[in-house]
A and B are shown apart, each in its own frame.
Chain A
Amino acid sequence: MQERRKFKKRFCKYCEAKIDLIDYKDIAQLKFSLSERFKIMPRRLTGNCKHHQEMVTIAIKRARQTALIPYIVDRKNVVESPLDMIK
């Protein structure tokens, strides 16, 4: 008997859109690969291919350096909806 796939097959969103470069200033695009605590989402959850995941990580780290997105969201400064904070 053929083994059935347990999860839905995931596609690399960036491959389908044929994106060559991920701009670190475009936060709306980066949000897809960020958790609600602004951690970088793993490849197994987003379905990104390795090539694009590498570009995403670089873009996210650059955005962090320039204070466009936070490094951490901790309990000291609680915000109700952290994703609305950056716009």
Chain B
Amino acid sequence: MNCYETLFVVKPTLTEEEIASQITKVKDVLTKEGAELVATQDMGMRKLAYPVEKNNRGYYTVLYFKAAGAVIQELERNLRNNEDIIKFLTVKYTKQREVAQFDKLAAAANRGVSQSAKVEEAAKVQEEAKEA
């Protein structure tokens, strides 16, 4: 099992639900191939540094996962065939130091998710308190 990180950019013209469905689609490919998804980092809608396929913005998502090498071929084939994905990049972490950093990055990404979840929870609690 190797450590990989894949970044992909979804077209900005889609609605939020469609973007979410695209992301789950990519995740499904990984789970189907038997990869272990470690963390997901949502970078959100960003301005692109240069236009890509006449798009000026894009929705960035980063997936950290552990998988066998053959999975990448299948994943990239799916990404390439998907017309709603305008950019993708896969990076492999091989050296020991790099893998240590990979764990750190993945943990940071996880923490980001949990933090936003916590904020939402706190907001919910506050709302409930107000209602009561």
**In the bound complex, do residue B89 and residue A62 qualify as a contact, i.e. CB atoms below 8 Å apart?**
yes
Give Cα A23 to B50, complex, Å: 21
A47 located at the interface, meaning its Cβ lies under 8 Å from any Cβ of chain B in the complex: no
Cβ contacts under 8 Å, B98 to chain A: 20-21
Q: How many residues on B have C-beta within 8 angstroms of the other chain's C-beta atoms?
A: 20
Residues of A in contact with B, size category: 10 to 19
Instruction: Classify the interface of chain B: helix, strand, loop or mixed.
Output: strand
Cβ contacts under 8 Å, B97 to chain A: 20-21
**In the bound complex, do residue B50 and residue A66 qualify as a contact, i.e. CB atoms below 8 Å apart?**
no
**In the bound complex, do residue B101 and residue A71 qualify as a contact, i.e. CB atoms below 8 Å apart?**
no
Give Cα A66 to B50, complex, Å: 10
Can you list 22 residue pairs at the A/B interface with Cβ under 8 Å? A20-B97, A20-B101, A21-B101, A23-B105, A24-B91, A25-B7, A62-B89, A62-B91, A64-B49, A65-B89, A66-B60, A66-B87, A66-B89, A67-B9, A67-B48, A67-B58, A67-B87, A68-B46, A70-B50, A85-B49, A86-B47, A86-B49
